[in-house]
Structure 1
Amino acid sequence: MQIFQEVARHLSYTRAAESLNLTQPAVFTQVRQLEDQVGMALIERLGRRLFLTEAGEVVLRSARDLLGELEQMEMRLADLSGMARGRLRIGIVSTAKYDIPRRLGEFCRAHPGIDVSLTVGNREELLGRFAENEDDLYILGTPPEGLDAESHRFAENPLVMVAPPDHRLAGKPVQPTDLATEAFVMREQGSGTRIAAERWFKQQGIEPLVRMELGANEAIKQAVMAGLGLSVLSRGSALLELEQGYLTELALEDFPLLRHWHVAWPQGKRLSVGALAFLDILFGKGCAPVPKALATGKAASTR
């Protein structure tokens, strides 16, 4: 099941073998043996590409459930024996990488036996992983929409408009109308920061002149410092540059845009020992929200 899951994830015997530290023939043989046991083809090749069959999709869903239950059983048994161990998988939007690693450091010091896997992506990528239940917890700027999710706000995430320190608008009050002729460097479409910024511009009746789209905050900061345009960023992602004077925060009406960080997981998911311990880091021990799947005899926390 583990081998089949990796092949289904990569749709490649070679890449699955590399991730599992096995040979490609060994991986291929195991999948064939699983197909023989099931009595149906699970993977088909069309040209040079692999695709899951309908039976393969069914087996993949069951494999995820089965392996997830086994992993949780191991962690619960380890917790009962006082030897907390296991694995914690977290998916975070790229802007959260300036805050979450610090919290993970605290977590790892408190729980050295739990291995942590961190996946960083934009909002659309994270929602794709969410839909497939690939991680234990997800850190997002906006709760998932259109998905059965349990989400909780745990920290503020103010968005600011930044400029190079020698910009004509630096150091003085700025009105929205002052931005009508300014060029902007923006995150890619689908980014939570981009969505929030566009919503604000629309409320002001302004169509921003987007000179450049970049998929990384680091690249955006460098572009702004180079004078290529203004940008809207999470204050946390630009804190160092703001403190050292490489960027300046514009005194813009309605800014900062107050947003929040949310932690989310699929509705009804039974969280692992590691996930529950990380919620204690986010909210404080005794203050973490109780997952509805674990809330036996007591109400779940308010979203």
Structure 2
Amino acid sequence: MNYTLNQLQIFLKIVKTQSVTKASEELHLTQPAVSIQLKNFQEQFDIPLTEVVGRKIYITDFGHEIAEAAENIINQVHAINYKTLAYKGQMAGKLKISIVSTGKYVMPYFLSDFMKEHTGIELLMDVTNKSRVVESLENNEVDFALVSILPSKLNVEKLDLLQNKLYLVGNTDIIFEKVNQEESFFENLPLIFREKGSGTRQTMVSFFERNTISVLNKMELTSNEAVKQALIAGLGYSIMPLIGIKNELRNNELQIIPVKGLPITTNWSLIWLKGKKHSPVAKAILNYIEKEKSNIVHDRFDWYEKY
């Protein structure tokens, strides 16, 4: 046996994604490079690790056992690295955070200075929709989650970071005067929604239900970036978090349409399961954010506070 740590990591990623293509994307490698490493790894075993049916790759029972062993090996390597750093007096370990997609405009600013100071910490930040964020928290897969709507069925503790403001947004082809909550206005307005499971969608739907506004003409897109590009192109209008449209507002690509009842305000909150025993790294980052939150908001989000 002469397999490398790199081959173990690649094989483990293939097993987790069930796809060579997805594994290559997540590892930032070319698909041929991943395929070659998989082939070289497979050649070291007499029993198949994978099989291809049609164009889909399947992991054999033996392959799953090897993947489990590979994960244990990789974890042990990380543990060695962390112990080495800890012996030198440096903070080391993993920090796992799951954040809703629009949270990518928020969370990095609360982490950057801390991560620069503690280079031995490995940050794993999953950016996904609200449903998956809540699921990862419920399964205790992460240290923290960042949400703009608190999960109703989980007992959590929280630290509020920043107010979340959602406005009706469109491109600048037509300039709107002050708009009342008239059903006819929204009925004739092509509206763009995020996908089901998105916190932004949940907030947008709640606004229409709360104000008994009927929406007939709508489109659904699966990311905040996709919604922005659709708005800029003139495909419609949407209720969006202000935090994600800073540059588009400054470049006059998008405008906030003044509608009675908007903005909707919630809070960006860092949450964790009530009673969770934090690792030393998780405790340190939580203490840091609690101490520095006001300074970070002032330094990094000054533009945001003016709206």
State TM-score, norm by structure 2: 0.69
Q: Distance in 2 between matches of 1:286 and 1:112?
A: 21
**2:118 aligned to 111, 117, 140, which one?**
111
- Correspondence list, 1:126-275, <5 A: 126-167=133-174, 170-177=176-183, 178-275=185-282
Instruction: Return closer, same or farther for 1:190/1:176 CA change in 2, 3 Å cut-off.
Output: farther
Change (3 A) 1:237 1:86: same
**Counterpart-to-counterpart distance in 2, 1:165 and 1:275:** 44
Tell me the distance in 1 between the aligned counterparts of 2:290 and 2:80: 25
Give me the whole-angstrom Cα distance separating, in 1, the residues matched to 2:273 and 2:78. 17
C-alpha displacement of 1:261: 0.8
Contact 1:14–1:24 under 8 Å retained in 2? no
Equivalenced residues, count: 276
Deviation at 1:280, TM superposition (A): 3.4
Secondary structure in structure 2 of the residue aligned to 1:258 = strand
Provide runs of 4+ in structure 1 moved above 4 Å: 2-16, 23-28, 47-53, 70-81
- Percent identity of paired positions between Structure 1 and Structure 2: 28
Q: Which amino acid aligns with 2:178?
A: K
Counterpart-to-counterpart distance in 2, 1:227 and 1:15: 32
Q: 1:211 is matched by which residue type in structure 2?
A: K
- The aligned runs of 1:73-88 (5 Å cut-off) are 82-88=89-95
Change (3 A) 1:266 1:245: same
C-alpha deviation, 1:74, in angstroms: 8.8
Q: Which runs of 5+ in 1 are unaligned?
A: 29-44, 288-303
- SS of the residue aligned with 2:173? coil
Deviation at 1:136, TM superposition (A): 1.7
Query: Residues 213 and 151 (structure 1 numbering): CA distance in 2 closer, same or farther, change over 3 Å?
Result: same
1:246, distance to aligned residue in structure 2 (A): 0.9
Contact 1:186 1:210 in 2 (8 A): no
Q: Residues 181, 206 of structure 1: CA spacing in aligned structure 2 closer, same or farther, 3 A cutoff? A: same
Counterpart Cα distance in 1 of 2:125 and 2:206: 30
In the alignment, residue 231 of structure 2 is paired with which amino acid?
V
1:5: how far off? Answer: 8.8
Task: Report the secondary structure of 2:191's partner residue.
Answer: strand
CA shift, 1:205, in A, is 0.8
Unaligned runs of 5+ in 2: 1-7, 28-33, 43-50, 295-307
Secondary structure of the 1:205 match is coil
SS in 2 for 1:208: coil
- The answer on whether the counterparts of 1:162 and 1:249 sit within 8 Å (CA) in structure 2 is yes
Aligned residue for 1:254, secondary structure, equals coil
Distance of 2:177 and 2:200 partners within structure 1: 24
